[in-house]
Structure 1
Amino acid sequence: MVQSLVNTSELLEDRDDLTTPAGLLAWAEAADLPCPARPTQADLTRVRRFREALRQLLGGTPGGVPALNGELARTGTRPLLQAGPHVEFAGDDATALDTAITRVLAAVITAGLDGSLRRLKTCAAEDCRWAFYDRSPNVVSRWCETSVCGARHKMRAYRARQAAGATA
């Protein structure tokens, strides 16, 4: 769910699925999340800001944390202990969008607690930033696709070394 939200924007193709109400409705439906029947421009702006805060979190930069904490406060997301023992996350759910954001935040919190959040990353290529799940044993992957973004990075580094050697 978190990965699919972050990947609604594809920088390499200059595509953003969340620029229209239909795009937001399509993403929410695909993620099995509630959504306002008629999303407003303010809803779209809120979800896009939320998405970019998640992208920053997955990229290892703290810039998105205040926005995510703001959404936690705004939606009233909090853990509730259940018999079992089991923990569930609830929110004040004032709107359908609040409910959707609460569920995404619950997934982030749960993944942080079980350790799987460290495997959800964004591609290190600045022109990509695609969210991917790092399945490497040591959690050291840097690119969404080594054969694409990794190869481009390595080729740029090679050419830079060649150019530096030619001028020396």
Structure 2
Amino acid sequence: MIQPGARTPAPEPLVLVQDLANTVDLELERDQLRSPADLASFAAEHGLRLTFNADDLAEVLEFREAVRDVCQAHAGVDVSAASGAVLERRLVRAPLWLTLGADGSAVVQPAADLSGLDALVARMAADIAGAVVDGTWRRLKACAADTCRWVYYDRSPAGRSRWCTMALCGSRNKMRQYRART
């Protein structure tokens, strides 16, 4: 969202997850989620009519960073215990239902009685569940640069990309390695 054009967006259903993680630009210190109203606008942009309070905002910011840590784990960095605890605490409050269609199809979706932050997290959890099934989840990664950590979708054939873009973070890293050698 803040770094347009770095890479093409993730496929559905991962767009919501990617967009939430990218509501902050660490390098420029700009955060799009500064108020409950900002969070409600973000949700509305993704087809979710939800209301939030100040506590929800604080929790979604914490959840956002934990999701970013999971995305960084897809590039080989372990998820911290603290981030794991945040995810477990939030996800347990956002239950999912499995519905079966007349044609035998199965869909994971948020429980119907959820609202606010629980509904947002459940929507993301259902989207992630779908991405796990279709194999796209592990390609949603966070840039290896500590000053960036932008979440991108790795479309490389081998799926081993580490940088949001080689033109910025990848080049900076290569230059640092070069200078360290010389």
Q: Tell me the TM-score range normalised by the shorter chain.
A: 0.7 to 0.9
SS of alignment partner, residue 138 of structure 1: coil
Q: Which runs of 5+ in 1 are unaligned?
A: 163-168
Residue 90 of structure 2: aligned partner = 71
Query: Is the 8 Å Cα contact of residues 81 and 88 (structure 1) preserved in structure 2?
Result: no
Query: Is the 8 Å Cα contact of residues 34 and 97 (structure 1) preserved in structure 2?
Result: no
Query: Is the 8 Å Cα contact of residues 80 and 90 (structure 1) preserved in structure 2?
Result: no
Residue 107 of structure 1: aligned partner = 127
Q: Which structure 2 residues correspond to residues 1-168 of structure 1 after superposition, within 5 A?
A: 1-36=16-51, 39-60=52-73, 61-63=78-80, 64-83=83-102, 84-91=104-111, 93-162=113-182
Amino acid at match of 1:34: R
Residue 8 of structure 2: aligned partner = none
SS of alignment partner, residue 93 of structure 2: helix
TM-score of the superposed pair, with normalisation by structure 1: 0.87
More helix as a share of residues: 1
Moved over 4 A (4+): none
TM-score of the superposed pair, with normalisation by structure 2: 0.81
Q: Say what the alpha-carbon RMSD is for the aligned residues.
A: 1.6
Amino acid at match of 2:59: R
Bigger Rg over Cα: 1
